[in-house]
A and B are shown apart, each in its own frame.
Chain A
Amino acid sequence: MKTAAELKHGEKARISDINSDNPSYKRLIEIGFTPGQEIELVNTSVFDDPMAFSIRGTLIAIRRNEADCIILS
């Protein structure tokens, strides 16, 4: 099971599910990380964390542990 935290720079993938174990999962859905959406890892911070994803026509930075609850298909 691959998660968004494992994406490489410029790699695109489609979301299949959001793991509801992470306390931030609802906020992730609300901000647009929903199943079926295509995401692309466009940037990471110098410290490799947080990561910036392109989703729904915008860029959203989230921490690695949050990206880890975005399950990809």
Chain B
Amino acid sequence: MNIDVAKRIPLITLVGPPNSGKTTLFNYLSGKNFKTVNYPGSTVEYYTCKIQDKYNIDANLLDSPGIISLNPNSPDEEVTVNSLYNHPEFGVPDLVIATADASQLSRHLLLTKQLLTAGFRVLLVLTMRDLLEKKGLKVNTDKLSKLLRCDVVIVNGRTGKGIDELITTIERNLKEIDTKNHSEPYSISDQLSKENLLNLYSEIESLTRAVIEPIDFPDLEKVNKNIKILNPVLQEPSLQPDLFTLKLDKVLLHRKYGLLFFFLIMTTMFTSIFWLADPFMTLVDDFFSYLAQTSSAFLGNTWYSHLISDGLISGTGSVLVFLPQILILFLILGLLEDTGYLARGAMMIDKPLSKIGLNGKSFVPMLSGFACAIPAMLAARTISNKRERLLTIFIIPLMSCSARLPVYVLLVAFLTPSDKPWFGGILLASIYVFSIISSIIVASLINKFSKKLIRTEDNSSFILELPAYRIPKLKVVLKNSYINALHYIKRAGPIILVLSLIIWFLTYMPNHSPQIDTAGLNQQEIIQLEKSERLATSYAAELGKSIQPIMTPLGMDWRIGVSLIAAFAAREVFVSSLALIFRVTDDENIQSSLLTAMQNAKNQQTGEPLFTTATVIGLVVFFVFALQCISTIAVSRKETGGWRIPMLQLIIFTSTAYLFTLITVNGLKLLGIN
């Protein structure tokens, strides 16, 4: 949309401090007709929509990340503030709706006052009146409106009460714009000195004192409460934080048990991502397998049939199979955030994380990384310091994501003696512990060299409001999870699809109809044999053979190389391509036949067993470190705004993986473990 067209439709921008009820208001005004857009030239996202049809206002509505003042503190805030003055796509807003928490008036009016000073046309929306009422207080909106010289409306975020009045007020404001000439807003950056800020605050304080009044309660008990709250010593109303929050914090932020609760909550969340998502992932997986089988049965044994079933449908399936995990992850994170706990978690873990150049706010993204690196990288946006955000994104691929699990399961099964199944569980747990420890080491190493790797200024801080505990609004959380899941598909989908088509081409061509001896084989076995013959003579195999020199030092041959190449699209492909290359045709029990095939496989160069304890442990090490996920690379590029960081990740993690595998395999051989 160009500015000329946009000018004809008025633009309303929503701004407000974090936790001021901005998102709820946006949801009310937008209905469901919003879309997410990136600010041109940056990774910061905003939502834009037309105001819901039922309100009958023809206007664009723009929502952006919360800001505390017009003095930006992070790259994200900078984009938001700049866009207020002149949005690259929409221009200057005709009306700014500023939200403020009524129980936090003295803090939240700072932004409103700055907006008014800068010459914006402002409509102030007060939210969370209920929190203020709990303290026996109310805001005199008429007085506030007169003192501020802008319209003030109270909206209840839970019930939607006040929306109608807001709509009428918006309409009146937009009409006045048509009749009045309003001047362009100007920058107030010269007014942001310490002195001016303090003056502004004392102005707001006297204003707040003038507009906050006690509620006239008919019953005596509440009046008594009022008197207690309006303690004459404090002289200012509403100074007490929520009492329930203070009590709960005594437990959840306890100096001894706080961390215990923290780990308990995080472990519950982390494990539930796996077990809650598992049946749904199987369902998605089954659905796409069924779709692939049906289409291949329908189209016959032709190249385009394979393209559609193996390339297109399986490619789409590999994008969507992680969707349940991502939805559940965002759902749990959203619920935790909405209750107010997440900010506490970030506070508790800030100190140890700051030691390795991260921030308390890095923890949630890192934890999400155990499910999938993609939503984890998106979650890193909450970190305001750019250097810490980039470092967080940098190490996220080292968190052992769920795509590694099928690979680990296979390799662990190989190493586990059949009479000691418990050994497998210990091995798997050790792999996770190993990956956590190694990512901590890598993070601190990267942090040491990060001045060179991540070029940006260092001004680390941790200033975070701990919002009052609240019962989460399920509707809002569900909606946000849905939006985030949609993001995942939009961001990762197209790239994974294109690359899985390329991988399909490399593993399918040029020998797409191989000659095999079909004597004594059933249809299923013929198809499987064709597949493996095709793979063994494909471009991918040639690629695998060309990397033989780097596989030899690892005690492996080109066949593992091909599987590793295929696994660069997505790790879990490793298992299926091994099955293909070792001609495992038993569809019923792939794992056990694959294990037998692996035990019997001989290194084509040396004639020694290909899979030994040493090489299999080596492969585990490789999968712990290597960045073998195209979607991660794609999202890393989007989130960091360039190819520099994803390429560094790819090179550093993959070469580390190779080096450590080399050391592991040869070290174990030297120790006589083979």
Contacts and interface: CB of A to CB of B under 8 A. Distances in A.
A55 to B, nearest CB: 9
A68 interface: no
Interface stretch (B68-76, B563-571, B595-603): B68-76
A18 B194 contact: yes
A62 B73 CA distance: 15
Interface in A36-64: 36, 38, 42-50, 52, 54, 56-63
B660 interface: no
B465 A26 contact: no
B191 to A, nearest CB: 12
Nearest to B192: A26
Nearest to A61: B347
A52 B245 CA distance: 13
A47 B259 CA distance: 10
Contact of B459 (A23, A31, A46, A59): A23
A58 B256 CA distance: 24
Interface stretch (B88-96, B234-242, B664-672): B234-242
A63 B462 contact: yes
Contacts of B227: none
B282 to A, nearest CB: 39
B255 A46 contact: yes
B234 A38 contact: yes
B466 A61 contact: yes
Interface string A5-49: 000000000000010100111111111101110100011111111
Interface residues of A, number: 36
Interface string B216-253: 00000000000000000010001111000110011001
Given A23-B459, A48-B351, A57-B238, A43 B201 contact: no
Contacts of A20: 194
B417 interface: no
Interface in B331-383: 343, 347-352, 354, 360
B113 to A, nearest CB: 12
B106 A56 contact: yes
Contacts of B462: 50, 61-63, 66
Given A30-B110, A31-B68, A62 B463 contact: yes
Contacts of A24: 459, 461, 463
Q: Which of A49, A52, A60, A61 has the most CB of B within 10 A?
A: A61
Contact of A27 (B73, B249, B250): B73
Contacts, number: 126
Contacts of B246: 42, 54, 59
B104 interface: yes
A46 B249 contact: no
A66 B462 CA distance: 8
Given A32-B107, A58-B107, A26 B245 contact: no
Q: Which of B202, B465, B467 has the most CB of A within 10 A?
A: B465
B501 to A, nearest CB: 48
B58 to A, nearest CB: 35
Nearest to A63: B462
A59 B307 CA distance: 57
B241 to A, nearest CB: 5
Contact of B69 (A30, A46, A49): A30
Interface in B463-487: 463-468
B198 interface: yes
A24 B192 CA distance: 14
A63 B467 CA distance: 17
Contacts of B240: 54, 57
B197 interface: yes
Nearest to B464: A61
B402 interface: no
A59 to B, nearest CB: 4
Give the top 9 A-B pairs by smallest Cβ distance, nearest first. Answer: A47-B351, A59-B466, A61-B347, A43-B253, A24-B461, A32-B107, A30-B69, A63-B462, A46-B259
